[in-house]
Amino acid sequence: MNRRMHRIVLAWLLVSVMLMGLTACSNTKNDTPKPTDAPTPVPTETPVAEPTATSTPTPTNTPTPTNTATPTPTPAYDYETLHKTEYTSLKEAYKDYFMIGTIYTEMILAGKDKDLVLANYDVITPENLMKPEEMQRVQGTFKYTASDKMIAFAKENELTVHGHCLAWHQQSGNWLGKSAKDREEAIEQLRAHINGVAGYYKGEIYSWDVVNEAINDGVNLPADGDWKKCLRQSQWTQSIGDDYIEIAFQLAHEAAPDAKLYYNDYNLDQPAKAKIVAAMVADMKSRGIPIDGIGMQGHYSTTTSITNVRNSLDMFGAIEGITVSVSELDVQINGIKQGQYDGEQEMQQAIFYARLFNLYKEYSDLIERVTFWGYKDNTSWRAEGAPLLFKANLEPKEAYYAVLNPDAYAALGPQDVKPSTKKLEAAKGTPTIDGEVDDCWKDAKSYDINIAIMAWQGAKGTVKYMWDENNFYALFDVKDSVLNKKNSNTYEQDSIELFLDQNNCKESTYDKNCGQYRCNFDGEVSYGTVPSKDGVVAKAVKTATGYRVEIAVPMLVEAKAGVVMGVDGHINDADDKGARVSVMKLNATQDSDYTNPAAWAEITLK
């Protein structure tokens, strides 16, 4: 190759290399994705604390919640679109479906609270002031001042009034149904009370909860359909008998013949209890007892099954001549403390409310009224779970917009949210079962027992777990200011319950390794279904704030590090008269989950 040709070839090679370099640079630049703007976090506002209104009594050992929202980043929801609605208030949005209500307390008589209530609600229910002992604490002496003020307020502002309640096992003083010498005297006490309340307000109160919460917890309708076998034992069953409910309805109809009469209860989304109530109401209706409706209280959480609510509405709707009112609705956020929630938790609550109200609209021919048990979180009796539509400073939460615009919010989540299974740990160790806290318990993690199952939220506590090759151990520390074991049903005494599935079967029924172990505050052990009672040891001691229980259950499987078991913990809370008023659970969210190992937490032996 001559020199001239050599220069040409070199020049061509140089140009080729340069072109390849330019192409490579160009490709590298095009393959790099353009940066995108991160969604701007939408913090939830910390509300200003306001005085707590008079509300359903809460045990004194429960701290007063602050109902604050913790500012945290949330997913990129289109809030502007979600908040767009043609309606300016709740009652306007549902005027073609059903009445929208809230509770009455004197807080709504003036100021911004009054303005908010009058703008959004068209029916009120007295939260406490018409409960039996508030109306007639002393036999023959009725107190009308507070209820007269409520009636005057309702008339002035064209509000409908629903009365709550006439016959109840709770908050009935120390004589009503208790001091009677015989059945006839007890019936006359009931008659006089109903006449003195429902009769006094005849024509002024639209509807009444005649009997409240008469069905026992944790029972099933017998095969023969006899719902009376499922009644809660109370002063009324003891003084009158199992026909006191129909007598109360007959007396209420005589006293206020134009009022609609309801039976009211909690946990009616749960199939077993709904079946009992449906059987009771259908039976009474068929015999001409003047009952008009069922009050489904609706003290829910964001993991309540909306499918179950639908099934109950179908069941009640099949009873000819019966309407339903959602009588005490609130939806708490599980697992939060002191009313503090983040933006995503607030949105999940909103999505639940949206799906619930879409369901209610679907059943509007059956549902007469939906009453929220309050309107702002900090005055709710479940304030720790922030269950209502407005913050303490009366600013609307996402739940408020979700009720106004349910279709938009419902599209953001599933129909039913499966309750999460808590993942726990048991430390390795061998404590002495004496009710004292040995040093080895320091290595065990503490878990809160604070998921309310019943309408009331009573005693709470914590539990720790340990294990060795021979036993599974639990240490419960319960805060409870009133300890009582008068009830013959051991599960209604102040007590703890340990649920243990040593095989973690995750089945809906017990297998040979599942057990329910109970110990009251005096150290008396009782059982549900257990593989064996042999070797179970428990000790209880009273503390300055309640009581502590230490319990050991023999191992049925080979215990070693890494083994996973199913576990749950319950706290039963009795009042000073011996009636169980509260159940708190560690993981399960349904009353019937004590029979369902699939609903228990999972614990790993460490």
Return the active site residues. 213, 265, 328
Nearest by Cα to 314 from 352, 346, 265, 269 = 269
Nearest by Cα to 606 from 565, 555, 560 = 560
| DSSP 3-state of 289 | coil
Contacts for 40 with CB less than 8 Å, ≥ 6 apart: none
Q: What would the DSSP string read from start to end of 336-395?
A: -STT-B-HHHHHHHHHHHHHHHHHHHHTTTTEEEEEES-SBGGGSTTGGG--SSB-TTS-
Nearest by Cα to 153 from 111, 104, 197 = 104
The DSSP secondary-structure symbol of 138 reads B
Nearest by Cα to 370 from 94, 154, 117, 99 = 99
> Which residues on neighbouring strands pair with residue 449, listed in sequence order?
461
Distances (CA, A) of 407 to 83, 344, 352, 388: 12, 19, 11, 19
Give the CA radius of gyration of the chain.
Answer: 30
Cβ–Cβ under 8 Å, residues 586 and 551: no
Structure tokens at 353: 């409310």
Cβ–Cβ under 8 Å, residues 490 and 499: no
Cβ–Cβ under 8 Å, residues 427 and 603: no
Q: How far apart are CA 253 and CA 96, in angstroms?
A: 29
Contacts for 293 with CB less than 8 Å, ≥ 6 apart: 207, 260, 261, 262, 263, 322, 323, 324, 325, 368
| DSSP 3-state of 263 | strand
Contacts for 10 with CB less than 8 Å, ≥ 6 apart: none
Amino acid letter at 280? M
Nearest by Cα to 166 from 278, 255, 228, 77 = 255
Amino acid letter at 16? S
Relative to beta strand 460-467, strand 423-428 is: parallel
Structure tokens at 435: 């009710």
H or E segment at 14? helix 3-31
Structure tokens at 558: 């080979």
Q: How far apart are CA 424 and CA 564, in angstroms?
A: 9
The DSSP secondary-structure symbol of 52 reads P
Number of CB atoms found within 10 A of residue 3's CB = 6
Q: How far apart are CA 499 and CA 93, in angstroms?
A: 45
Q: How far apart are CA 540 and CA 542, in angstroms?
A: 7
